[in-house]
Structure 1
Amino acid sequence: MDSEINTPSSNLLPDNDAQRILLHNEVHARPSQRIQLPALVIYVVVINAGITREQECEHLRRLPGQQALMPEQLQNNFLQLYLQDYVLRWERHTEFTRYALLQHLPENVQLGAIDPELLAYIALPQGWLAGIPGKTFAAIKLAMMEGELSQADKTLEQARNWFGGNRVVASLMGREGYSLAVTDFRLRPSGFERMLVIMSADASETRAGRVAQRLLEIETYRLMALKGLPFAKRLIPELTTAEQQLSDITAQLENKASSDQELLDTLIFLAARIERATVEHGYRFAATQAYNKLVIQRISELREKAIPGTPTIGEFMQRRLSPAIATVDATAQRMSYLSARVSRASALLRTRVDIQTETQNQQLLEKLTRGQELQLRLQSTVEGLSIAAISYYVISLLLYMAKAGKAAGLPIQPELLTGLMIPVVVWLVWRATRRIHDKFFKLP
């Protein structure tokens, strides 16, 4: 028989992946509790925001015989302590930590008891519950006992006494109705809810543990799912205002009543508000969906059967929880849809602004082109005038030189010689000007 693998590798296999052992043991991280009837479970859930494992470990050390408890023992987010008269279960989750005390139900607490107070029988040291680090989010007293379920309606009538006349919900659970769960989902002055489970005599300890776990998780996940509701209610007026602003912007976009740049600035501001709301509330709304799915799953695992005249736990959740979840869903979808609408409007407006900018740039470019053409024409005109002026001065100089030569006794006629040189001078000046012009335009 193979022994349990505790080492990171085996001589018969390649080296283990770094996460193999961790992932393999994950299914064993929180084993189901075995519960021997009659039993009392005191269950407390606290929000652990800002609370470290070290703080929770320090509080667990206050239990009898646990002074040597070290934070390393809490690294797996699960711990079960077996003390003299009770078992304490500690579980840490992302948002909350839960403590479950399991002890025997006092013998004098019977099925027909009228609104019995169970907190007086808690086996924990005085003040230990009140000192748990964190903020209380759920607290349940779950009593479990054996009873006759062949006539479930009569058993339910006895169980009603536990709830002091409050209206209750009840479910026969299992394919053969091996247990009956009764609760009223009401907070009592002590801060606790109360649940009662009656099981047939042949129910196993493992089955009792699973029933308790499912009922406690249903209430825990129900409350965690509802955490998104206050945020959704606060967000609804903001979304309504944002939708109206977007509608106004769209109307202005159609009739061009305002500057496109002003509309774009308004849209950017609106998009920033919606993005902020998404960042602040997106996780909470997604968590609501996840927790609601867990509630539905746990209820389906109960395999409920109704007792005529009394709603089941699943029916109660369907009527009371579903509208709240629908509100959160609608708010999340509304926020997402509004974000998409703002993005489309922004893209449309940006496109229009870009087209207008491109048109303006094209018009400016055309003006610059026309200016350059005029400048070239003017330059050509100036070049022509320059050729005439330069030629005039050169010919004048030649005339003076010819007159000077005649005065010196040279046999020349200054006017005739100058007249003959005019075409040559003009051509030479024009040629020199063109060469300078060509060199200028060939510069890099």
Structure 2
Amino acid sequence: MTLFEEHPLRHALNEEVHARPSVPLTGPTRISYLAFVHANGSSDREHHHLEQLAQQLGIDLPETGKGHILIDAGDFRLKWERHTEFSSYTFFRDVPDNEPEDTTALLAVPAAWRKAIPGQLLVASHVAVLDARAYPPQQRLEGYRDPSQMWVISRFADNAGWIFTDFRIHDGFSRFTVIDERLDRRQAGRNVQRLLEIETYRLMALLAFPVAKAVGPVLTEAENELADLMDTMGRAQTPDDERDILARLTRLSAQVEQSVARTTYRFGAAAAYYRLVQQRTHELRETRYAGFPSIGDFIERRLAPAVNTCAAIAHRQEELSARVARNSQLLRTRVDIELQQQNQSLLGQMNQRAKLQLRLQETVEGLSVVAITYYASQLVNYLSKGAKPFIKPLTPEIITAVSIPVIAGLVALGLHRMRKHLAAAEAHE
């Protein structure tokens, strides 16, 4: 391999396939999951915070540069992952069969440390993984038939396990109960991870829903203003009216583009998170239990309308931006045509002025010929008077009279040749 020049990202890209592996579960387990949205530089403080935990536990902190680590503290295990918008902390604690079902993995985690986790908490879940022999699922079903409460119950992994949840928050945590009938360690770990990812991505997708509800009235107001501007544009009579409408359209365009820039990422992220939720739900390979909705049913019925609303608002926003741009271009075209007409009128006036100026110039040139001829003839007269003894029998008056037409012809010919030379130089340019 030393004969080849490797791409600098070859190993990093290959390791990405193995990133964030699931944690195998060994028997009855309690899992506590926390997801914190990055805020105010909280992601930069996570490494130091994990170092503090490692120091308290007396262990070495693994390298956090890859964005995920697994810490084995003995009493519990911690899986930390950093994502684009959030970081997750998953705590695992193996328990004996007789451990009460409502115990959590956080009991073994230093309380002061977990309270100081940087970021804004978005997801908090407890998962109890139980053995079907100690907790038969059929016996539990009778307690979940209260019609006043919506329970989500399904079998997953090709009927190898059960999931019980209501997707509600109790004492700050949503709760899931997973009953293992014939799951192997890695299979149980993968499906619990999928379950927690569904909960996380579901809420991350819903972050766009309040944004969509806030943007909706703004879009309605902008659409009404655009319709009013189009009506006004149809009634515009003067260039000043059109310029005023164009200024209002420009302001409206800036407002719409500001809204697009502020919300595009959030709406795009919501669509991406929703696709991940659908993918993880499909990977659970659920079997619906009669009388209860499955996770896929619950997610599709509750989450899909919100995501569709966000997609509709995003499409409506883009469409409004395009409409404003088209109408602005139309009005600019009208203003440009009006300006061209004004320019043509100005050019016509300038052409008339140039013609008048040319006629005046021709008149001035005629007067110039007369003036030059007059002064030149006077010079001839003075010269002939001085040479009077040498020009006999001619007199100064006769010579002057004869020179006048000659001088006038030469001056007129010179001016004509000069105008012709200037015209040729201008045409050459």
Q: TM-score, normalised to structure 2's length?
A: 0.89
Return 5+ residue gaps in structure 2 as ranges. Answer: none
Match of 2:53 among 62, 83, 89: 62
Report the counterpart of residue 7 of structure 1 in structure 2.
none
- Deviation digits for residues 82-136 of structure 1, max 9, x if unmatched? 12222111111111111111112454346xxxxx642497221233322212211
Contact 2:274 2:307 in 1 (8 A): yes
Report the counterpart of residue 356 of structure 2 in structure 1.
374
Return 5+ residue gaps in structure 1 as ranges. Answer: 1-9, 111-115
- Deviation digits for residues 305-325 of structure 1, max 9, x if unmatched? 111111111111111111111
Please, what is the CA RMSD of the aligned residues? 2.9
Distance in 2 between the 1:107 and 1:128 partners? Answer: 29
Q: CA deviation at 1:432?
A: 3.5
Equivalences for residues 11-410 of structure 1 within 5 A: 11=2, 13-49=3-39, 50-63=41-54, 66-67=57-58, 69-70=60-61, 73-109=63-99, 117-119=102-104, 122-147=107-132, 154-158=139-143, 160=144, 166-175=149-158, 177-189=159-171, 191-200=172-181, 202-256=182-236, 259-395=241-377, 398=380, 410=392
- Aligned amino acid, residue 173 of structure 1: F
Q: CA deviation at 1:207?
A: 1.1
User: For residues 393 and 20 of structure 1, do their structure 2 counterparts lie closer, same or farther at Cα, with a shift above 3 Å needed?
Assistant: closer
Distance in 1 between the 2:87 and 2:106 partners? Answer: 23
Query: What is the number of residues matched between the two proteins?
Result: 422
User: For residues 400 and 54 of structure 1, do their structure 2 counterparts lie closer, same or farther at Cα, with a shift above 3 Å needed?
Assistant: closer
- Aligned amino acid, residue 180 of structure 2: M
User: For residues 69 and 135 of structure 1, do their structure 2 counterparts lie closer, same or farther at Cα, with a shift above 3 Å needed?
Assistant: farther
Distance in 2 between the 1:164 and 1:48 partners? Answer: 39
- Deviation digits for residues 171-222 of structure 1, max 9, x if unmatched? 11133x1111010111112x1111101121x321111111101111100000
- Aligned amino acid, residue 43 of structure 1: Y
Q: CA deviation at 1:264?
A: 1.9
- Deviation digits for residues 151-186 of structure 1, max 9, x if unmatched? 96544225x39x9984311111133x1111010111
Secondary structure at the counterpart of residue 17 of structure 1: coil
Q: TM-score, normalised to structure 1's length?
A: 0.86
User: For residues 67 and 94 of structure 1, do their structure 2 counterparts lie closer, same or farther at Cα, with a shift above 3 Å needed?
Assistant: farther
User: For residues 25 and 413 of structure 1, do their structure 2 counterparts lie closer, same or farther at Cα, with a shift above 3 Å needed?
Assistant: closer
Secondary structure at the counterpart of residue 137 of structure 1: strand
Contact 2:27 2:94 in 1 (8 A): yes
User: For residues 179 and 421 of structure 1, do their structure 2 counterparts lie closer, same or farther at Cα, with a shift above 3 Å needed?
Assistant: same
Report the counterpart of residue 6 of structure 1 in structure 2.
none
- Aligned amino acid, residue 10 of structure 2: R
Distance in 2 between the 1:137 and 1:251 partners? Answer: 47
Secondary structure at the counterpart of residue 329 of structure 2: helix
Report the counterpart of residue 431 of structure 1 in structure 2.
413
- Deviation digits for residues 346-396 of structure 1, max 9, x if unmatched? 221222222222222222222222211211111111111222333344445
Distance in 2 between the 1:378 and 1:120 partners? Answer: 104
Secondary structure at the counterpart of residue 203 of structure 1: coil
- Aligned amino acid, residue 185 of structure 1: F
Contact 2:76 2:92 in 1 (8 A): yes
- Aligned amino acid, residue 127 of structure 2: L
Taking only the aligned residue pairs, the percentage that are identical comes to 37
Higher helix residue share: 2
